[in-house]
A and B are shown apart, each in its own frame.
Chain A
Amino acid sequence: MDHPTELQTQPAAVRVRGIVKSFGTGDTKVTVLRGIDLDIYLGEMLLLVGESGGGKTTLLSAIAGILDIDEGNIDVLGVPLSDLPAGKRTTFRGQTMGFIYQQFNLLPALTAAENVAVPLLIQKIGRSEALRRARAMLDRVGLGDRTEFLPKNLSGGQQQRVAIARALVNEPRLLICDEPTAALDGPNGQKIMELLREVGRAPDRCVVIVTHDSRIFHFGDRMANLTDGRIVGIESITREGTA
């Protein structure tokens, strides 16, 4: 079960209480989340693990505010996300969150630097300033010499690095990662997780990662296990292994 850490002495950055989410209606109705309670703290990297269909991605989507929940509350950085109207939720998401996806979701027509600049452009930051910051961020993830490459000319690992740079360029307080290593081989997956810990994890940021990949479990600070729509266990992790 969960072991208290020094981080948990402060208020939770993400506070999930009793959320329920179903899909479909009538006989085809499937309840995916069945009353989830979860706290995520600034400075920590939380892994959401569990069997397929257990509700990990649905929970991640709900925390990100891109999926409406049926019941319960989600507070992110003190803002009741589930009560915000869609437009304000979108703005809030753009200002406070960064996303890393399993399939990278880079825009194929844009160079690496332009892809990284997209969240800044959405925030109406000027193109030249956005590109300057994007190049600096690519430098931080080790792609300073690939800024003008199109995604198709980058390897899978490099594309995920671009995605990490894009997620971090607007300095989000909450970093949402969906299976960030699933499309990569073992060594590249390890490198991506090392990078995420190195540049993604920060004292004023929490990182939530959905993963199946047991080879990267040791990178997290805590690990929440979702099974059949419920959290069945939360463990703290030491760098050497599970505590």
Chain B
Amino acid sequence: MDWTAYLNPLMQGAWVTIQLTFYSTILGAILSFAAGIGKTSTNLAVRSLAVTYIEVFRGTSLLVQLFWLYFALPVAGQALGIDLRLPPVVAGVLALSLNIGAYGAEVVRGAIEAVSRDQYEAAKALNFTPRKTLWRIALPQAIPEMMPSFGNLAIQNLKDTALVSLISLSDLAFRAEQLRNFTQDSTTIYTMALFMYFGLALVLTAMMKMLEFYVGRWRAGGR
């Protein structure tokens, strides 16, 4: 079979991969900020919750988390009398975002804590509330610092989406595996799949660089 015949099904899979990456990166970013800010909170309950979330999802394997959500959660639901069966796409996006969010949370916390004491003192002298200090002074300075790490996490997330093929979501990895089953033409198919992932990664990197420039435009040319 000619390699062009593989192109269409692989492209369909790539489109699913793109969507998975997009949604789980957005949701993961939200979780990153929630847990990262939560970990810097003075409220013990909030801090403990954030720390627990971060430690559990950083401390276990993504595939374990994915299987747990997909296979184990319904069993737990059964015991409680609730239907907790998740469609593969929900389990996939949830596992990916929870996982990447835990890593992102450490990036967010680190960047917030790296904002110099002087800035917090200036904000206090001008009578900003702690909340306004966070949102208007600390975060705008911290976000550009987070961007290189966020770029790496986005790539990590793109690669991790391949795991959802194992719960039968028809992403790029799934399509490749399916085609190989049909045709046994492993070399061509996996080479194409690898290059398509590589292409997606390059595009994603470029997009994250643009975002990095955009959020840090106030310091363009400076520093």
Indicate, yes or no, whether A interacts with B: no
